[in-house]
Amino acid sequence: MLGFLKKVAEYTRDAVDAASYLAQGLSVTFDHMRRRPITVQYPYEKLIPSERYRGRIHYEFDKCIACEVCVRVCPINLPVVDWVMNKETKKKELKNYSIDFGVCIFCGNCVEYCPTNCLSMTEEYELSAFDRHSLNFDNVALGRLPTNVTTDPSVQPLREFAYLPKGIVDPHEIPSTHSRAGKLPSEMLEWLNQNPALEDSNKSNQKDLPQNEEIL
Ligand code: SF4
Ligand code: SF4
């Protein structure tokens, strides 16, 4: 009898949870229904990618030790590390490094595991090309730093909806002096240090993150 009651309680809890998730999803849908469409006049206006956006990879040739960890952690063994063994110094000599962005899935594993941090994700997302072979970036192309949306003088940067202050739905209403989407990682760390209780309780809890107005 006790087992049966437990099962009924579990079933009821699951049903209530499912209903609340359904309501949450529908609330997003209904919230969108009362919003007017916003047009981004690309390429004169561009949305600012989020801080952790995984765009084209940047590579620093001088830092690379040709360990090939990036190749081993890549789900498709994509990076090509071209090195030769110098018999005199008995050390690897790096000749070339390339990543084909026509194949890359931008998972970020190579960036995460590189022991010398010579790989990093950038905000660059405009990688369309007429020839797919031109997406195979060598170490020179990978070493170029992209122009950020926020620093490109020919572009009007616009914030995504999630980064807009409460009550504002159109990014055109934000003054152009507010160029960044949110706080920089260093500023976010400072903010967390000022709130030690929050850091201890749950750093990743979205409920406790500062509201958009505080970030701005
Ligand atoms: S993991 Fe980093 S250091 Fe090692 S080969 Fe790849 S890019 Fe170079
Ligand atoms: S981002 Fe992912 S798929 Fe692309 S090269 Fe790095 S590990 Fe491979």
CA–CA dist 180, 190 (Å, integer) = 17
pLDDT tens, residue by residue, 123-172 = 999 999 999 999 999 999 999 998 888 888 899 888 888 788 777 888 88
Domain ranges of the chain: 2-48+154-215, 57-142
Q: Which residues line ligand 2 (CB under 6 A)?
A: 74-76, 78-79, 99, 104-110
Pocket of ligand 1 (CB under 6 A): 64-70, 81, 114-116, 118-119
Ligand 2 centroid from CA 204, angstroms: 25
The CA 118 to ligand 2 mean position distance, Å, reads: 14
Q: Residue 105's closest CA among 69, 73, 130, 131?
A: 73
Specify the 3-state DSSP secondary structure of 183: coil
For a substitution probing ligand 1, which of 59, 71, 73, 119 has the most ligand atoms within 8 Å of its CB?
119
How do residues 33-70 score in pLDDT, each as one tens digit? 877 888 999 999 999 888 889 999 999 999 999 999 99
Give dist(CA 1, CA 131) in Å, integer: 69
pTM for the whole thing? 0.73
Hey, which of 52, 58, 103, 106 would you mutate to test ligand 2's pocket, going by the most ligand atoms within 8 Å of its Cβ?
106
CATH architecture of 57-142: 2-Layer Sandwich (3.30)
- Residue positions counted in the chain: 216
CA-to-CA separations, 158 to 58, 153, 216, in angstroms, rounded = 24, 13, 14
The rounded radius of gyration (Å) of the Cα atoms in the chain is: 24
Q: Given the CA of residue 74, which atom of ligand 2 is nearest to it?
A: 7
Helix (H) or strand (E) segment spanning residue 187:
helix 185-194
